A = this chain, B = another copy of it.
Amino acid sequence: MLNERTEKVLFAIVESFINTNEPVGSRFITKTYSFNLSPATIRNIMADLEEFGFLAQPHTSAGRIPTDRGYRFYVDFLSRSSEVEDAFIESFITRLEAKREDLNGLLEGAARTLSEHSRYLGLAAPMKSGRTTLNRIELFNYRGNYIAVVLLTDEGPIKHKIIRAGQKLTPGTLRRISDYLNQEFSGYTVDEIRLKLVKEMSREKALCDILITKAVEICREALSFPPGEIYVCGFSDFIGLPDFSSRIREIAGAIEDKHFMLKLLEQVGAGIEGPSVLIGSENPVKEMKDLSLIVSTYKQDGKVAGSIGVIGPTRMDYSRAIVMVQTAARFITEALSQ
């Protein structure tokens, strides 16, 4: 569809626009790149590219800017081999070295490093908790009538919850309840347990065992998790970007909605191995029409354990950002395998 020369011009235009944030004109291209063509020829090529939907004009007598489709072309044909800056790696290592055992700290640090070096919004989130595997349940009496439930999962973070017990339970009862729960549920994912609980509740009625009733009740309450963590860093730098002088409010609103951001990360990252890129309107949400998202997943024990990425303007330094996200994901995966 596009001959090689046309592609090169498109590439040059996208690159120029990313660098300058100004509509790029034919003359500029001939000055900056050595195509050995006159502005007039470049103009013809540009007209073609516009016809195909790779470029657009803000107004008649301005230069061209890439459309989302133009960026997509650019990203797809981008050589993925660019070097990561040493400073980035260094800052990654120094910041995360101390936190090898603390997943939350690790993720927050990663999001922050990512944002500081890219100047975009840094994101990191562990996978939806429903898919994590329960390792052990521990119960204590706590301040009289309460029970502290601690859920140890395979993925490092511990969830904890304090729930109200009807009456004070003896340590013995508590131990028997937790023994029962461990025997029954450990090794399953949270989602599976939620399912099992429903079955259990009908069986339990037949059994009429007060201990089990109590146990199931405790477990059910403990599994009503908060929505899950997500780390978003670099807000202030991000909204300071010239690209959204207006619309700040909208965009800030979308980003502040952590619930939504989580879902986005999960959807985009799911299944794909390397970093995946979502450009502007490829994003299903209208608030993010001018924003691009780069996400990669990180792993633990060979399984996908969460996502990490950046959000920037569509006019974003993709090649740099992609490598950074890739590197970050690799680092976290490494850190998690000790």
Contact = CB atoms under 8 A, between A and B. Distances in A.
Contact of A158 (B152, B162, B248): B162
In the assembly, how many copies of this chain are there?
A: 2
Contacts of A249: 236-237, 239-240
A146 B156 CA distance: 10
A302 interface: no
Contacts of A330: none
Interface in A117-167: 135-136, 138, 140, 142-143, 146, 148, 150, 152, 154, 156, 158, 160-164
Interface of A: 101-102, 104-105, 135-136, 138, 140, 142-143, 146, 148, 150, 152, 154, 156, 158, 160-164, 226, 235-237, 239-240, 248-250, 252-253, 255-256
Given A101-B146, A138-B140, A148-B158, 17 more contacts: A101-B161, A101-B162, A101-B164, A102-B162, A104-B226, A136-B140, A138-B138, A142-B152, A143-B154, A148-B150, A150-B150, A158-B160, A235-B235, A236-B255, A239-B252, A240-B248, A240-B249
A334 to B, nearest CB: 16
B163 A101 contact: yes
Contacts of A253: 236-237
22 contacts: A101-B146, A101-B164, A102-B162, A135-B143, A136-B140, A138-B138, A138-B140, A140-B152, A148-B150, A148-B152, A148-B158, A150-B158, A156-B162, A158-B160, A158-B162, A160-B160, A235-B256, A236-B249, A236-B252, A236-B255, A240-B252, A248-B248
